[in-house]
A and B are shown apart, each in its own frame.
Chain A
Amino acid sequence: GAGVSQSPSNKVTEKGKDVELRCDPISGHTALYWYRQSLGQGLEFLIYFQGNSAPDKSGLPSDRFSAERTGGSVSTLTIQRTQQEDSAVYLCASSLDSGGADTQYFGPGTRLTVL
């Protein structure tokens, strides 16, 4: 079956503009995660959704970052008034259930470049 997909694969924007990044999780996966990976670094947790529960936003670096998940499936990560330090690869992952020990499957990521 299809894996996690993300779009766009690359996004170049100017400082101060808003961007939206999209994630389509694996069908049937109830948990969805967003991570950020800066150049040559590990992954930094941003936010996760589990079913209809309120999302865990504890990893969002500032109030310029927000995410939503519509209908328990597709998710959009929005960054407002982008800054150069927002440049990174944004990765989405999904898992069957976030009981704590389910494998997270990652998408290919969106490479964001803020000029």
Chain B
Amino acid sequence: GESVGLHLPTLSVQEGDNSIINCAYSNSASDYFIWYKQESGKGPQFIIDIRSNMDKRQGQRVTVLLNKTVKHLSLQIAATQPGDSAVYFCAENKNWGKLQFGAGTQVVVTP
């Protein structure tokens, strides 16, 4: 069936290094993807989104890459900081705004 999933449940990154979080999706008809960050005890916070007519989109310290050929999505965080420690979710805009979320990746930033 259709699904959105993450490759790694936990990612440990040294402060200052770049982080890469991966996400696979199976519905080739999906046309909109979003990355959310969730800190402990808080709701998901929008980071960046990308539409299927794009391959790359950049924000502040973050870049999302979309590879439609292999149905793969990634989030890159440059110069990872302690405040980046959180769970990161990719989400697929399934149908009229109903988001389907992956299981999440825990990012742990070490000094």
Contact = CB atoms under 8 A, between A and B. Distances in A.
B51 A108 contact: no
Count chain A CB atoms within 10 A of each CB in B43, B93, B94, B104 and give the residue with the most.
B43
Nearest to A89: B43
A105 to B, nearest CB: 7
B89 interface: yes
Given A41-B103, A43-B89, A100-B32, A105 B97 contact: no
B45 A106 contact: yes
A11 to B, nearest CB: 15
Contacts of A50: 96-97
Contacts of B96: 48, 50, 56, 98-100
Nearest to B97: A98
Interface in B78-99: 89, 91, 93-99
Contact of B97 (A4, A91, A100): A100
B1 interface: no
Interface of B: 32, 34, 36, 41-46, 49, 51, 89, 91, 93-104
Interface string A24-60: 0000000101010000011111001010000010110
User: Most B CB atoms within 10 A — which of A31, A43, A103?
Assistant: A43
B102 A48 contact: no
Given A100-B32, A101-B93, A45 B43 contact: no
Contacts of A113: none
Given A41-B103, A108-B43, A103 B97 contact: no
Contacts of A93: 43
B34 A103 contact: yes
A42 B104 contact: yes
22 contacts: A31-B97, A33-B98, A35-B99, A42-B89, A43-B44, A43-B89, A43-B99, A44-B101, A45-B94, A45-B98, A45-B99, A98-B96, A99-B96, A100-B32, A100-B93, A101-B93, A102-B97, A103-B49, A104-B46, A104-B99, A105-B46, A108-B42
